[in-house]
Structure 1
Amino acid sequence: MAYRDLRDFLRRLEEAGELIRIRTPVSSELEITEIADRVMKGPAARNKALWFENVDGKGIPVVINLFGTPRRMAWALGVEDLEDLRRRLEALLRPELPQGVGEALERLGQVLGTLRSIGLGPRRVSRAPCQEVVETEQPSLDRLPILKCWPKDGGRYITLGQVITRDPRTGKRNVGLYRLQVHDERTLGVHWQIHKGGAEHERAAREVGAERIPIAVALGGDPACIWAASAPLPPDIDEYMLAGWLRGRPVEMVRCVTQPLEVPASAEIVIEGYIDPREQRLEGPFGDHTGYYTPPEPFPVMHITAITHRRDPIYPTTIVGRPPMEDYWMGKATERLFLPLVRLFLPEVVDYNMPAEGVFHNLVIVSIRKRFPGHARKVIFGLWGLGLLSLAKCIVVVDEWVDVHNLSEVAWQVLGNVDWKRDVVIVEGPVDHLDHAAPLRAYGGKIGIDATAKGPEEGHPRGWPERIEMSPEIRALVDRRWEEYGLA
């Protein structure tokens, strides 16, 4: 399902009872964060998207927690369940020949739909809602209800902006979801971490001697575009092509008014500007998704040349902090969609889970179909070689029958099945930029744990015990007689 814009998505949420409008005047400084944090961490029945109609008296409403449940996150990407993302991509990647005419026609329809949606890439338009109002003389960030999220933050932060740049060597676009600190009304600190596409464009600009990096920040648009900015795609894959595939139609783009870039035409607000690759300022501190403040570090500065927006813009935002929060479900959508891609390289993988407790990069639990001695170690090192999974701080491998999403079952298997001298791999390598435990920035220790059953070839000559399971006949008997027991 393709939404025309953010408003179309908000309309669906409101009709489904998944959005609450708050008319009481509120402050963008800390108050919205506390309200949203309680809603995100509170009872499931109270976890709704929030629409603040009166923020700081600026006349621009704020929406938050759009993706804060699996249901809303799935709807944002045009499916009813996050597992549907995996199924859609698996159907596209299936290598086996279709069985029969019906399946062949179905597969052909899927391929044609994909070609229609992403084969031609995003589509250029000449006029766009995001440019109904154009400010180039005195563009000011002070007119936007940008949040200060946590008490010791270095200032106000844009947290849900699609940050758009192009590689100065190849011209290929990158879209990232990077936080942006307001230094003053005309400059933003751009926190793109060392492993991200924007940081690569900055390095490339210095290599080729470019004096400026054009940059644009799009707020709003189809929620698939917002989410796609967070997806850890390979450098040569356009995030808006992925959004187009999810939408089932190309993303409409319009040329910026002051920079040689394109932005989603249906965005609510667009901030245009440039970065001098030789200039950096301290950015931070910032209350991060780890649940701790990230300390100040030097990052590039965006100089604003224009702000364009709809006549009645809506400001979308999010907050991060101690999990679980809204960003967990954005990451879970990535996890589900990317499972078929992981299986392309590691077909023995059954499933994987990156739980909120591990803030994604700290813990990856993987189940595999084990076929030979050392198979779990092969998977551990294979995952450490795949894209941003290379930053995983801990990888735990379990047997195929273990439910990786049941943390109690995983803990039972790991704590009972691991010999800590034999089954642990400790290495040094790249870790997440935000890992405050690493002794060096973005480089530290990593652990792999083989919690699979072992045989003599792996140093366990005693023989592995058999799992306790009731016989199928008795289970079926009890199923039939359950109501007779008076326990129903």
Structure 2
Amino acid sequence: MPLDTLGEFIAAIEQSGELVRVREPVRTRLEIAEIADRCMKSRDGGPALLFERPVMEDGSTSPMPVAINLFGSTRRICLALGAEKLDDIGCRISELLEMKVPKGFLEKLALLPRLAELAKFPPKTRGGRPPCQEIVLEGGDVDLGRIPFLVTWPGDGGRYITLPLVITEDPARGIRNVGMYRIQVLRRNELAMNWQRHKVGAAHWREMAERGERMPVVIAIGGDPASIYTGSAPLPPTIDEFLFAGFLRKSPVELAKAVTCDLAVPAEAEIVIEGYVDPGEPLVLEGPFGDHTGFYSLADYYPKVHVTAATMRKDPVYPATLVGRPPMEDYYLG
């Protein structure tokens, strides 16, 4: 059976003996990252960690646990994708992504079984109130300071969201994109989105800017592990990430309508942040940020996201990852 939620994924990791629960208070500023870094650099990627009492910037203890290094071993990636071994899933992915345009009738016939398998698992829209909207905060009630976002390195520009699914839509064709970009938390309801020029989300933003229209954006945190994986996967822009996640897990991903915009969000996400980018506004300074090279990416100017709503489960877990000098968790994410 596929894993539908982050909670199910964490439970499966614990059952496999690869989860360590940290019950002592640990600070979200630098301390969680330091412990995670040592684990990730240990043999076989180290255990997944669940910090049950993260200490916030003001010294209070957050009721929201922090999970990190969830994907940081071969066994855990297999659990996430529902595979016994990585070679099994690798063959399925290769066959899908290496499909070429058929040249004749017989080649078209040979292609049908692959296309049929992919078409079995389109995302489904869920009715009613989804789990990701058990708590809904809008407007002035939004306070991102309540979420235990991490400061991972001493020279970082602030707190960062490091394992998001950033959902945007092509304004001309209506094609959805799900990407994983770092996001700096600026204030209680403002973010800086690190959309590098070659990313699909950045292309959508440029198109909306040319139109002079606000661009809706949704940031989903958590959800089923296959969807989290696909957010980081280098897929062709014509392949829908949630369709691909359904293909990997052999079961459709359930989506729901966002509260303040028309974008669809993973119904089983832990946290969803909704907002928009205004092309008429100046860019904001994002960074520095400790990066994969072991050095800091310099601060630069990127779009500002105005947060219109934050929704979440009643008892959410905040999943994060750590970016820095290898080896890190992203070795297993690919």
CA distance 1:204–1:32, change in 2 (3 Å): same
Structure 2: distance between partners of 1:192 and 1:112:
34
1:216 to partner: Cα distance? 0.6
Matched, 1:281 2:284: yes
* Partner-residue secondary structure (3-state), 1:151: coil
Residue 246 of structure 2: aligned partner: 244
1:91 to partner: Cα distance? 5.6
Task: Report the AA paired with residue 65 of structure 2.
Answer: P
Q: Is the 8 A contact 1:224 1:247 kept in 2?
A: yes
Structure 2: distance between partners of 1:307 and 1:128:
14
Residue 22 of structure 1: aligned partner: 22
Q: Is the 8 A contact 2:150 2:160 kept in 1?
A: yes
Matching residue within 265, 268, 274 for 1:266:
268
Matched, 1:144 2:147: yes
Residue 107 of structure 2: aligned partner: none
Q: Deviations over 1:344-403 (max 9, x none)?
A: xxxxxxxxxxxxxxxxxxxxxxxxxxxxxxxxxxxxxxxxxxxxxxxxxxxxxxxxxxxx
Q: Is the 8 A contact 2:212 2:280 kept in 1?
A: no
Task: Report the AA paired with residue 316 of structure 2.
Answer: P
CA distance 1:185–1:112, change in 2 (3 Å): same
Matching residue within 164, 170, 173 for 1:167:
170
1:229 to partner: Cα distance? 0.8
1:86 to partner: Cα distance? 2.1
Residue 85 of structure 2: aligned partner: 81
Structure 1: distance between partners of 2:307 and 2:95:
44
Query: For this pair of structures, how many residues does the alignment match?
Result: 315
Structure 1: distance between partners of 2:124 and 2:240:
13
1:208 to partner: Cα distance? 2.1
Q: Is the 8 A contact 1:180 1:191 kept in 2?
A: yes
Q: Which has the higher contact order (CA 8 A, sep 6+)?
A: 2
Matched, 1:115 2:114: no
Structure 2: distance between partners of 1:125 and 1:4:
13
Q: Give me the CA root mean square deviation.
A: 1.8
Task: Report the AA paired with residue 266 of structure 1.
Answer: E
* Partner-residue secondary structure (3-state), 2:270: strand
Residue 135 of structure 1: aligned partner: 137
1:234 to partner: Cα distance? 2.0
Kindly, what percent of the aligned residue pairs are identical?
52
* Partner-residue secondary structure (3-state), 2:279: strand
Q: Deviations over 1:255-291 (max 9, x none)?
A: 0011111100000000001011233101000001121
* Partner-residue secondary structure (3-state), 1:201: helix
Q: Is the 8 A contact 1:253 1:262 kept in 2?
A: yes
* Partner-residue secondary structure (3-state), 1:267: coil
Correspondence list, 1:297-312, <5 A: 297-312=300-315
What TM-score, normalized to structure 1? 0.62
Correspondence list, 1:254-403, <5 A: 254-279=256-281, 280-331=283-334
Task: Report the AA paired with residue 329 of structure 1.
Answer: Y
Structure 2: distance between partners of 1:204 and 1:111:
31
Structure 1: distance between partners of 2:85 and 2:215:
39
Residue 65 of structure 2: aligned partner: 61
Q: Is the 8 A contact 2:4 2:225 kept in 1?
A: no
Task: Report the AA paired with residue 287 of structure 1.
Answer: G
* Partner-residue secondary structure (3-state), 1:188: strand
Structure 2: distance between partners of 1:276 and 1:132:
28
Task: Report the AA paired with residue 122 of structure 1.
Answer: P
* Structure 1 unmatched runs, 5+: 96-106, 332-488
Structure 2: distance between partners of 1:144 and 1:89:
35
1:53 to partner: Cα distance? 0.3
1:171 to partner: Cα distance? 1.5
Structure 1: distance between partners of 2:279 and 2:47:
41
Q: Deviations over 1:148-196 (max 9, x none)?
A: 0100000000000100111122221111100110111110000011110
Residue 105 of structure 2: aligned partner: none
Task: Report the AA paired with residue 63 of structure 1.
Answer: A
Q: Is the 8 A contact 2:118 2:243 kept in 1?
A: no
* Partner-residue secondary structure (3-state), 1:4: coil
Task: Report the AA paired with residue 9 of structure 2.
Answer: F
Task: Report the AA paired with residue 79 of structure 1.
Answer: A
Q: Is the 8 A contact 1:114 1:248 kept in 2?
A: no
1:82 to partner: Cα distance? 2.0
Matching residue within 186, 189, 193 for 1:183:
186
Q: Deviations over 1:2-45 (max 9, x none)?
A: 2111111111100010111110000000000000000010133x
* Partner-residue secondary structure (3-state), 1:257: coil
CA distance 1:318–1:240, change in 2 (3 Å): same
Q: Deviations over 1:211-253 (max 9, x none)?
A: x100110010001111111112222221111101011111100
Residue 228 of structure 1: aligned partner: 230
Structure 2: distance between partners of 1:87 and 1:37:
31
Structure 2: distance between partners of 1:82 and 1:300:
37
* Structure 2 unmatched runs, 5+: 56-60, 101-110
Matched, 1:32 2:27: no
Q: Is the 8 A contact 1:169 1:208 kept in 2?
A: no
CA distance 1:213–1:91, change in 2 (3 Å): closer
CA distance 1:110–1:2, change in 2 (3 Å): farther
Q: Is the 8 A contact 2:2 2:82 kept in 1?
A: yes
Q: Is the 8 A contact 1:159 1:319 kept in 2?
A: yes
Structure 1: distance between partners of 2:159 and 2:200:
24
Matching residue within 65, 68, 71 for 2:75:
71
Structure 1: distance between partners of 2:114 and 2:240:
20
1:209 to partner: Cα distance? 2.3
* Partner-residue secondary structure (3-state), 1:199: helix
